[in-house]
Amino acid sequence: MLVLLVGLILAAETARGIDLTVDDARGVCSVHGEFVVQASPDTAWAVLSDYDNIPRFVHSMVSSKAEYLADGRIVVHQQAVGHMFLFSRRVDVRLEVREQPGQWIEFRDVLGKDFTHYVGEWEIAPDSSGTRVIYRLEASPKVAMPSGMRCGVLKHAARDLLDEVRAEILRR
C-alpha cells in the first residue's frame, strides 16, 4: 500500500512537471526540486527575486520583507506557516541572500530560531523547452520529530512552493 501511495505521489509530481527528491542524511534534510516552464529566464528571475511579494503567490508565506543594506547585501525576513495533519506551526527565518542576477540566488538563515541549519539556492538555466528552475535546500528544523516525518513535511512544503512559483511565472 505504501509503495502504491509513493508511486501516486511521484506520478502527481511528474504530471505537474515537478521533479522532487528528498534525502535524509546526518539529521539534515536535503531537498532538490526542479521544473521547466515555458517562460523567459527574465520572467522566472522577476518572480524568484520578488521577495516582498512572495506572500501573494505562496500560500504558506505569511510575510516576506527584503532589507537592502548599504554594503550591497540583502537580508530577507520571512514568516511562514507549516502544516502537518491537523497541526500548524509558524516558522521564522532571516535569510542572508546573495544573487547573481538572472542566474542564481543563494540564501541561508542567520536567525537560527526554528532551524539549526537552513541553506539553499534557486538557479535559473535556459532549456530547449523554456526555462529550467532548480531549487535546493538543506534544512534541519529544531522541532522534535522523527527524521522521516521531518523530511516529509519539508517535501510537502517544497512541492507546494515549486508548484506555486511555477504558476506565478506562467501568470506573469
Supply the CATH number for residue 102's domain.
3.30.530.20
- Count how many domains the chain has: 1
Residues of the chain with pLDDT > 90, as a percent, come to: 73
* pLDDT recorded at residue 145: 75
Residue 14 lies in a domain: no
Residue 55 lies in a domain: yes
The residue among 164, 155, 169, 168 whose CA lies nearest residue 82 is 155
Does the structure show a pLDDT above 50 at 3? Answer: no
Residue 4 lies in a domain: no
Between CA 88 and CA 151 the distance in angstroms is 16
For residue range 93-105, what is the model confidence (pLDDT) as tens digits? 999 999 999 999 9
Residue 56 lies in a domain: yes
Cα 79-83-86 angle, rounded to 5 deg? 140
* pLDDT recorded at residue 108: 98
3-state secondary structure of 140: strand
Residue 76 lies in a domain: yes
Does the structure show a pLDDT above 70 at 147? Answer: no
Q: Which of the two residues, 107 and 156, has the higher pLDDT score?
A: 107
Helices (DSSP H) in the chain: which residue ranges? 2-15, 41-48, 54-57, 147-171
* pLDDT recorded at residue 82: 80
Lowest mean pLDDT among 26-30, 60-64, 84-88, 149-153: 84-88
For residue range 7-64, what is the model confidence (pLDDT) as tens digits? 434 334 444 689 999 999 878 999 999 999 999 999 999 999 999 999 999 999 999 9
Long-range Cβ pairs for the range 103-111 (8 Å, 24+): 105/48, 105/49, 107/76, 110/75
Determine the structural domain holding residue 89 and report its residue range: 19-171
The residue among 118, 116, 122 whose CA lies nearest residue 41 is 122
pTM of the predicted model over 0.75: yes
* pLDDT recorded at residue 7: 40
Residue 8 lies in a domain: no
Residue 5 lies in a domain: no
Write down the mean pLDDT value for the chain. Answer: 89
